């Protein structure tokens, strides 16, 4: 795992074999990643939807506000943020690598425009349908029940990895479509704690299986509670995760240790 120039730096939160976590600002730490070294990037950046509104959770009315990292009032600031981290991701990606970015209408249009502005070539616009979305309390628009995941390669000339036959095989021998119906994270995935935007393990495993090979390096610049890393380790990939919130990095470590103990049983 020599993909960071300062592997022994003060930013290391956890390191074991092919699993590394870094604590700090993604915009700064991404600059430490060696150019053309990463096979797959999955990013779930801030959606900036903390606008003092309300939503429904477990049958209760709650605030949509998540944390300071999810609040930015000026659209230009949001777009500059997306341009900055995506610029570093493009530099870090191998020519055969691809990037996946999750979002909602709050940020995904900025992300898509930034990707195209930087020369990425969009391959698919995945619609992830949530099977049990919270109700729309305002009753002034349709219930939000999906997220968009943009999949892009480094450029139009890039020969990216796509495990087409495998995706067809796990889809009853039919071509897999770009609409995925996958439930929310299982309760056992939150055993050690959760993140407000946590994604289901099944979603990340499909993404990693579809567009990388065993022993490939997966990077998540917004690690959260570490679902990308757990999926990567389960599928025999290497992993680097970055996050500024140490409480979520600790959840990731606990999930990793619990997960690896279970893997050794089989």
Output the DSSP codes for the chain.
Answer: ---BTTTTSTTEEEEETTEEEEES-HHHHGGGBPTT-EEEEEE-------SS-EEEETTEEEE----GGG----HHHHHHHHHHHHHHHHHHEEEEEEEEEEE-TTTHHHHHHHHHHTT-EEEEEEEEE-SSPPP-SS-SS----EEEEEEEES-TT------HHHHHHTTTTSPPPSEEE--PPPGGGGTT---TTPPPHHHHHHHHHHH--TT-EEEETT-TT-HHHHHHHHTT-EEEEEES-HHHHHHHHHHHHHHHHHHHT-
Please give the tally of structural domains in the chain.
1
Residue 252 maps to a domain? yes
pTM, whole model, 2 decimals? 0.88
Which domain covers residue 23, as residue numbers? 12-264
Is 7 inside a domain boundary?
Answer: no
134 in a structural domain: yes
pLDDT at 260: 82
- CATH at residue 120: 3.40.50.150
pLDDT digits (tens, 9 = 90+) for 141-170: 898 899 999 999 999 999 999 999 999 999
Residue 6 within any structural domain of the chain: no
- Domain annotation covers residue 70: yes
Confidence of residue 69 (pLDDT cuts 50, 70, 90): very low
Question: At residue 2, does pLDDT exceed 90?
Answer: no
**Span 116-128, pLDDT tens digits:** 999 999 999 999 9
Is residue 2 in a domain?
no
């Amino acid at each position: 795992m020599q993909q960071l120039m300062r592997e022994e730096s003060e930013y290391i939160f956890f390191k074991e074999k092919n699993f590394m976590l870094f604590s700090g600002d993604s915009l700064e730490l991404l600059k430490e990643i060696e150019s053309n070294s990463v096979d797959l990037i999955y990013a779930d950046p801030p959606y900036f939807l903390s606008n003092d509104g309300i939503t429904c959770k477990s049958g209760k009315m709650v605030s949509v506000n998540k944390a300071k990292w999810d609040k930015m009032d000026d659209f230009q600031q949001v777009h500059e943020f997306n341009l900055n981290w995506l610029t570093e991701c493009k530099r870090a990606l191998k020519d055969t690598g691809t990037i996946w970015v999750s979002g909602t209408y709050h940020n995904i249009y900025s992300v898509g425009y930034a990707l195209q502005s930087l020369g990425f070539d969009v391959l698919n616009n995945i619609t992830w349908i949530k099977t049990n979305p919270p109700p729309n309390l305002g009753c002034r628009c349709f219930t939000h029940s999906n997220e968009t995941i943009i999949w892009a390669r480094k450029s139009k000339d890039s020969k990216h990895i796509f495990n087409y036959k495998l995706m067809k095989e796990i889809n009853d021998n039919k071509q897999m479509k770009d609409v995925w119906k996958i439930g929310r994270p299982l309760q056992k995935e939150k055993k050690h704690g959760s993140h407000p935007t946590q994604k289901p393990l099944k979603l990340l495993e499909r993404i990693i299986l579809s567009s990388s090979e065993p022993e490939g390096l997966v990077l998540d610049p917004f690690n959260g509670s570490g679902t990308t890393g757990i999926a990567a380790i389960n599928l025999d990939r290497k992993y680097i995760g970055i996050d500024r919130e140490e409480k979520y990095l600790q959840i990731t470590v606990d999930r990793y240790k619990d997960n690896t103990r279970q893997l050794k049983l089989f």
